[in-house]
Amino acid sequence: MKKVTNLIKVFIFGALVAGFTACNDKGTDPDPDPTPTGPSTISGSITTNTTWTAGNQYILSGFVYVEDGATLTIEPGTIIKGEKSSKGSLIVKRGGKIIANGTVDKPIVFTSNQAKGQRAAGDWGGLVLLGKAPVNKADARIEGENISEFGGTDPADNSGSLKYVRIEFAGIAFETDKEINGLTFGGVGSGTTVDYVQVSYSGDDSYEWFGGTVNAKHLIAYRGLDDDFDTDNGYSGMVQYGLIIRDPAVADQAGDSNAFESDNDATGTEAMPKTAAKFANVTATIAPGTLDSKYNTALRLRRSSELKVYNSVFSAPYKIGVLLQNASVDNYKSGKLVLQGIALQGATKMFDGVDETLFNTAANKNKVYTSVADLMLDSNFNSISVRPVGIPKAGSPLLTGGVTLPSGFEAAPYIGAFNTTDWTATWANFDPQNTDYDTAK
């Protein structure tokens, strides 16, 4: 019996050691609720399928690439920080993929590596997705980095998935007029999923699309520097539900700041495919306060853009509400550029380059409102001091004034980003400056 008992003890001890070793093997699946183990610095290229886990934090040092054929998977709740000194950036190349699917309770956060209270726009580069969908520019290379090519012949190309993702304090100029934005798309295809994404405090555009066909829903642009939604080089996807809130004291001093800026290309050629993206259900506003002189327009559509915007409200003291320039004027008159279900309020000059009688036709259902009170929005709809409340009050004309949206959009005949549901709840963060992200030391 004694020998048997000793054998049992040896077996139990061996099983415990094996179990302990297995639990600490970094090659195994992570625990359901892992303990933070400290930040990992990432640099260079990711060439094989890789998973970043919520039990770690990751610091991007310099340009970090997800190479062709590799997939980077990021678990819900994971925090990724951009290194300020090296302008850390994450670039997903053509043929590479990112699967960053957070949840409403556990969003994935890309943020500054600076301490709480010391973060600023442009602390790091940003997130760049490149794909094989058509663009109207030969030898297209992404701005800022100026090396990685994008674009191709596959409109359904798949660069992965972004869901419940926040990108904070990114957007940095690597050279004059060559910036990486908060979130940049270059030739990204419609096989890619983009839903519930917030870009806050971007040091350049919050979102910029260079060609491609990717669709997106539920986008927040919060307190950015330059433009909020910038479309170029033949972007032709569909974007529905967008919230834009700006700080009145912060605007692009090197140029000007617009809610929408759209060009077919940099020189306004008729290159194909045309920039003809469709946006629907956008709310764009600026918080109360003294307005920086560099704020320009709600909608600056120029250089032969054929953008289409539906059921959206622009309530802010811009210099101009709708500005059409160059060949985009003719595109509007011929119906290639479309503005329908638009509510304008607050601009010093409502129209430039567009005939108000064409804008205000019954079929277009566009309307100019005299005051914010006429829109019947919550008193905190454009707040940057407390969490904004975007849902209109009962009886608001925004709840019923929209047009029937084109095929491909969800049915949403109301004007603006919200009907009766606040889709920013829980996952979005309107005070990232004071959020403690240092759970892993």
Q: Which domain holds residue 153?
A: 40-431
- Distance CA(192)–CA(55), nearest Å, equals 27
Mean pLDDT of 71-99: 97
pLDDT above 70 (res 292): yes
The mean pLDDT value for 355-368 works out to 93
Phi and psi at residue 176, to the nearest 5°:
-60, 125
Q: Average the pLDDT over 170-174 and give the result.
A: 86
Q: In this predicted structure, what is the pLDDT of residue 438?
A: 85
Q: Which of 117, 181, 112 is nearest to 143 (CA)?
A: 181
**How do residues 260-271 score in pLDDT, each as one tens digit?**
999 999 999 999
Which residues are CB-contacts of 309 (< 8 A; sequence separation ≥ 6)? 260, 278, 279, 280, 282, 299, 338, 339, 340, 342
Whether the CB-CB separation of 337 and 329 falls below 8 Å is answered with no
Confidence at residue 37, expressed as pLDDT on a 0 to 100 scale: 58
Q: What is the pLDDT of residue 113?
A: 97
- Number of structural domains (the chain) is 1
Q: Report CA 401 to chain centroid distance, whole Å.
A: 27
The reply to whether 178 falls in a domain is yes
Q: Looking at the chain, how many residues does it have?
A: 441
| Both structure tokens of 88 | 């850390």
pLDDT number for residue 177: 65
What is the spatial distance between Cα 237 and Cα 263, in angstroms, rounded to a whole number? 15
What lies within 8 Å, CB to CB, of 15 at 6+ separation is none
Element (H, E) at 184: strand 183-186
Given pLDDT bands bounded at 50, 70 and 90, which one contains residue 403? very high
DSSP lists the bridge partners of residue 73 as: 51, 99
Q: Does 379 score more than 80 pLDDT?
A: yes
Q: Give me 342's structure tokens.
A: 């638009």
> Has residue 74 been placed in a domain?
yes
Q: How far apart are the first and last CA of the chain?
A: 51
Between strands 71-74 and 97-101, the pairing is: parallel
Which residues, in sequence order, are bridge partners of residue 199? 167, 221
**Within a domain: residue 354?**
yes
Nearest to 131 by CA among 191, 44, 196: 191
- 381 band by pLDDT with thresholds 50, 70 and 90: very high
pLDDT of 157 reads 98
Residue 133 Cα distances to 100, 129, 188, angstroms? 21, 12, 6
Task: Give me the residues paired with residue 274 across strands.
Answer: none
Tens of pLDDT, residues 312-356 = 999 999 999 999 999 999 999 999 999 999 999 999 999 999 999
Which residue type sits at 9?
Answer: K
pLDDT band at 439 (very low <50, low <70, confident <90, very high): low
152 vs 35: which has the higher pLDDT: 152
What's the whole-number mean pLDDT along residues 28-44?
Answer: 64
Average pLDDT, rounded, for the chain: 92
Residue appearing with tokens 């050691």:
17
- Ramachandran quadrant class, 132 (left: phi over 0; alpha: psi -120 to 50; beta: rest): alpha
Please state the rounded mean pLDDT for residues 162-181.
88
In a domain, 440, yes or no: no
Neighbours of 37 (CB within 10 A): 13
**What does DSSP assign to residue 141?**
B
Residue 386 lies in a domain: yes
Residue 29 lies in a domain: no
On whether residue 276 sits in a domain, the answer given is: yes
Q: Copy the structure tokens of residue 301.
A: 């559509």
The two structure tokens encoding residue 190: 């419609």
245 forms beta bridges with 222, 285
User: For residue 31, is it within any domain?
Assistant: no
Nearest CA to 49 among 128, 200, 160? Answer: 160
Q: Residue 273, preceding bond cis, omega within 30 degrees?
A: yes
Judge whether residue 36 has pLDDT over 80. no
Q: Which distant-in-sequence residues (6+ apart) come within 8 Å of 258 by Cβ?
A: 227, 228, 296, 297, 298, 299, 300, 318
**What are the structure tokens assigned to 315, written together?**
């309530």
* Identity at 389, one-letter amino acid code: V
pLDDT at residue number 87? 95
In the block, residue with structure tokens 């190479």: 67
How far is the C-alpha of 261 from the C-alpha of 227, rounded, in Å?
A: 7
Share of the chain above pLDDT 90, in %: 87
Please report which confidence band the pLDDT of residue 176 belongs to, taking 50, 70 and 90 as the band edges.
Answer: low
pLDDT of 11 strictly over 80 = no
pLDDT at 269: 98
Q: Is 11 helix (H, G, I), strand (E, B) or coil?
A: helix
What tens digit of pLDDT does each residue of 90-143 get? 999 999 999 999 999 999 999 999 999 999 999 999 999 999 999 999 999 999
> How large is the average pLDDT for residues 210-233?
98
Q: Tell me the longest C-alpha to C-alpha distance in the chain.
A: 101
Contacts of 379 (CB under 8 A, 6+ apart): 389
Alpha-carbon dihedral 5, 6, 10, 13, rounded to 10 degrees? 70
Residue 85 has pLDDT above 70, yes or no: yes
